[in-house]
Structures are given as C-alpha cells and as structure tokens.
Amino acid sequence: MSNRVSVQLFGITREIVGTSALTLDLPKTGQVGELLSNLKEQYPALTGLRSLLVAVNGEYAELNQPLHPNDEIALIPPVSGG
C-alpha cells in the first residue's frame, strides 16, 4: 500500500514549485501542517505568501487535520481581483 499523497498546485504556488502537481510521502505526523511545513522548507518562497489555504479531497482543511494515503491535497494561494 502506498503512503503517498498528491499535491495539486495553483497560481503562484505552481510558479514557485515549477510544476502543477507533486507526489509526496506522508509526513511523520500525518497532518496537513507538517506537510505544509515540509513544502515550505523545500520551497522557501512559499513562506512569503500572506495566506495559503489547503484543501484535502476537495474540502478545506485545518493544519491539524490528519492525512491518509492517496489523499489529494490542493494548495490554494491568495487570489486578487475585482
């Protein structure tokens, strides 16, 4: 069984990372917050974003939400417009 999750990147997050999707190992704690921290370590420019929403399997997620193998995570950057 796979212990990996897929991460979909949108807007500026896609530009920072250089791709629209990643496949990553589940973090040790298995929580959204640790996955986000790991991504910010690997891609330091992500720390410069004012806000970053995370969705798991199409639902907005809190940082302490547990992750499971094969979950689909989306990083949703701030959006401007009028």
Q: Among the residues of 2-81, which ranges form H helices?
A: 11-17, 32-42
Superfamily of domain 4-76: Beta-grasp domain (3.10.20.30)
Question: Domain ranges in the chain?
Answer: 4-76
Give the pLDDT band of residue 28 (cuts 50, 70, 90): confident
Phi-psi region of 18 (alpha: psi -120 to 50; beta: other; left: phi over 0): left
* pLDDT band at residue 1 under the 50/70/90 scheme: low
* The pLDDT of residue 50: 86
Radius of gyration for the chain, computed over Cα atoms and rounded to the nearest angstrom: 12
Mean pLDDT of all residues in 35-64: 95
